[in-house]
Amino acid sequence: MDAVMTDTYGIQEALKTLGLKEINEGTSTGSNNFGSGEPISSYSPTDGSLIGKVTTTTKEDYEKVMASATSAYLSFREMPAPQRGELVRQFGNKLREKKEALGKLVSYEMGKSLQEGYGEVQEMIDICDFAVGLSRQLNGQTIPSERPGHVMREQWHSIGVVGIISAFNFPVAVWAWNTALAWICGDTCVWKGSEKAPLCSIACQNIAAEVFAENNLPEGISCIINGDYKVGEMMTTDERIPLVSATGSTRMGRIVGATVAQRFGKSLLELGGNNAIIITPTADLKVVVPGAVFGAVGTCGQRCTSTRRLLIHESVFDTVRDAIVGAYGQLTIGNPLDEKNHIGPLIDKDAVNIYLAAIESAKAEGGTVLIEGGVLEGEGYESGCYVKPAIIEAKNDFAIVQTETFAPILYLIKYAGEVENAIAMQNGVAQGLSSAIMTNDLKEAEKFLSFSGSDCGIANVNIGTSGAEIGGAFGGEKETGGGRESGSDAWKIYMRRQTNTVNYSDELPLAQGIKFDL
C-alpha cells in the first residue's frame, strides 16, 4: 500500500478486506478495471494521507470495457429476471459481510462521519433487497383492443449497457441505486465513479466480482472506468450506451443531457439542490432543531438534499434562530472515523475555497453573520479541509442564496403572512430537489403538498430535507434534472417499453374502422 496513514481506526484492515491491499503507484486492482493511463491519487480529507493511486482509463482501455459489457449483455438479458434477482441477493449479502470495511473506506476517503458511511452501505443493502422483490414484478399489462379477436399487451425489455456517472458525496450508494435495478432489468453497467473517491468504486467492483465468479457469470455485467470528465465523455457520446445516469452539478447535467439527447439516448439526471425548510408559527421546536441542524451540517453540507435555507415566520423567527444557534454550539468537528464527532471535513481545498467565497458573497450582499465560518487549524485539522458550519441571516433573493454551495452554510430568512408566501419563496429558486415544512396546522401541511405547493420532487412534513428512504422514487424538478432513481417505478427507465397486438381471429379488421378491401 502506497500510503502514509496511521491505522488508529482500522483502515488498513478494511482495505485488505475490500481487496485493496495491493494498490500501488501506477496500478490498481479490481475486475474489469482496464486502466493503463496516468495515475490519479486519492488523498483522504480526514488527515491528508495518500491512500493510494489508481490508473485512469484510456480510449483503448474504454473499448475493452465496452467489449466486455456488450458481450456480457447478450447472455445476461436471457437470464430470467428472478435469477438475476438471486444474483442481486447474493451481492446484498456480500455487502452485509463487508459493511464495516466499506463504511470505513467511504468515511475515510470521502470524509463523511462513520455513521453516515455505514448508513450509505446500508442504503446499498436496502436497494438490493428492494430489487430482489422487484425481479418478480417487472409487470406489463393487458390492454383492451377495439378490434374483435385481438388482444393488446405491453411488456418491458432490457435496454442494454447502462452508463453510470456518480459524485464524490455518495461514492457507493448512488451506483448501487442504479446497478441493482439495472441488473434485475437485464442490463449490464459501466461505472465512472468520482475521481475524488476512486478506491470506493474499485472496492465495490471487487465485491461484485466475487459474486460473478461464484456464479460462473461474465465479469462484464459490471465494469468500471476511472478518470475525470474526459472519461465520462466517452460514455455520453457512445451510441452503444442507450442510458446514461449522471449525478452531479447542474452545470455537468446540462452538458450530459444535451450530449446524450443529440444521439437520441436517454439520460437520468440527479443534479443540484437548494433545499428549504418552512417553519411556521405552530412548528414544534423539538422536531425543527434536529431536522434543520442535521440537514444543514450532515456530510458537512455536501448532500444534494442538504438544507440550505430556513424560511421562518417572523412571529417565531427569534425563537427559532436562538434555538438553532444554540444547537450549533453543541456540534463537534473532527476526524469522521471518531464517532464522537458530528462533522467531518469538506472533500478538498477547492471545496474550502468555494465555501469561503460564498460566505464573503453573503456578507457583501448584506447578510448578517450569526455564526462565523472559517477554516479550522491545529492538531487534528492538518488536511486543511475542516471548516466551521456558518449561519447567516439573509434574504431569499440574494444571488448567493439562489446558488447551491456544497458546504455547511445555512441561510435564515424571514417570511410574513400566510404559508403561501413561504411556499413561493421556497419555490423561488432554480433547483427543485427536496423541501420540507414544519407545522402542526393540517391546512398548512396540505397546502404545501398540493398542486400549488412545493414544486420539488421531494416534499416532507415535519421531517427535514435530508435522509430519503429507498422505497420512494428519488429525484427532483427544474435544474435538478427531472430524474428518478431508487424506489417506486424508477425501474422503468432501465428498460424499453414494447406494445404488442396479437390477432387470434380469422379476419384482419383494421383499427379506427378503416376499410381496405382487395
Active site residues: 270, 304
Q: Please give the Cα distance from 288 to 410 (Å, whole number).
A: 14
C-alpha distances in Å from residue 173, one per residue of 96, 155, 334: 14, 29, 24
Q: Tell which phi-psi region holds residue 133, choosing left (phi > 0), alpha (psi between -120 and 50) or beta.
A: alpha
In 3D, which of 165, 190, 182 has the Cα closest to residue 61?
Answer: 190
Q: CB-based contacts of 58: which residues, under 8 Å, 6+ apart?
A: 35, 36, 37
Contact partners, residue 28, CB within 8 Å, separation at least 6: 35, 52, 53, 54, 55, 198, 202, 226
Question: What is d(CA 459, CA 475) in angstroms, rounded to the nearest whole number?
Answer: 11
CA distance 159 to 500: 17
Nearest in space to 384 (alpha carbons), one of 355, 413, 349: 349
CA distances from 221 to 97, 142, 218, 384, 493 (A): 22, 32, 6, 40, 18
Distance of alpha carbon 425 from alpha carbon 17, whole angstroms: 49
CA distance 203 to 201: 5
